[in-house]
A = this chain, B = another copy of it.
Amino acid sequence: MSQQRTGHEAGITGRVGAVTPSAVLGSQPDFPDLPEATVARLPEYLRALHHLAETGHDTVSSEGLALAAGVNSAKLRKDLSHLGSYGTRGVGYDIEPLVGQIEYILGLNKRRAVALVGVGNLGHALAGYAGFASRGFRIAALFDADLTRVGELINGIAVRHIGDIPEVVKSEAISIAVLATPAGAAQAVADQLVAAGVTSILNFAPVVLNLPEQVDVRKVDLAVELQILSFHEHRKSARGAEQAKALARGAELAKTVARNGSPVAARGEVAA
């Protein structure tokens, strides 16, 4: 249970990017072939590294970084080994160059412009989110279909009408968009975004978007997350109910922790 589940990649197949140029340009490290699972963890490593740097460290062991990032150290070492060698045996990793390398790999050298479409309940919160800016992104445009909202200033940036998407996406060189419209509008809006040149979409609407192959879509669905938790709750309570019958002693605790030794579905019960 406790290896933290950060939502990612149920099982995306294949490595990312088949055709590596393999030409080393300038002093920039090459663009390696990263396993998708590794890519999904790099942002977490990056966050942990920034935190460590801020708290005065300039070196960290795989064990320490793994702890901070919520993974085990073997996995972390293997992940980092894909980026090239930034560690020193007997010592650990130099934080600064490692941060630089991860940021480079993630394409965060340059602050990326992001468009946010649908400035409602959720969109409003996202538009005001500071972590956006502090982690490599710049909200370059806000869009909504509701004319009464157009013109409104949020965090210093004006809401524009979705009709302006093509123009603004081009002028601001936006390639990533965040979609926070109602589900019913999401597909149409996504189509407009893609037509305007957007190639990556973070979708908060609970629908599966149907888009061209080359467009990257990630989906965040709060209800899905809760339902997964609910499943485990259901399981836990089933397990708990049985154990209550079988034993009142704590001797079994070890087994419970040991994982997997779980039986019987007690139907009715739900909460602990």
Contact residues of A with B, CB < 8 Å? Answer: 1-12, 14-21, 25-26, 28, 30-31, 37, 39-44, 46-48, 68-70, 105-110, 112-114, 121-122, 124-126, 128-129, 131-132, 135-137, 173-176, 178, 187, 197, 199-202, 206, 208-239, 242, 256-257, 259-265, 267-268, 270-272
Contact = CB atoms under 8 A, between A and B. Distances in A.
A106 B231 contact: yes
Nearest to A221: B6
Given A31-B238, A223-B43, A176 B229 contact: yes
Given A21-B264, A202-B226, A263-B19, A211 B7 contact: no
Given A126-B222, A175-B272, A216 B202 contact: no
A225 B210 contact: no
B1 A213 contact: yes
B239 A199 contact: no
Which of A26, A106, A135, A208 has the most chain B CB within a 10 Å cutoff?
A208
Which of A8, A121, A136 has the most chain B CB within a 10 Å cutoff?
A8
A200 B176 contact: no
A42 B17 CA distance: 29
B233 A200 contact: yes
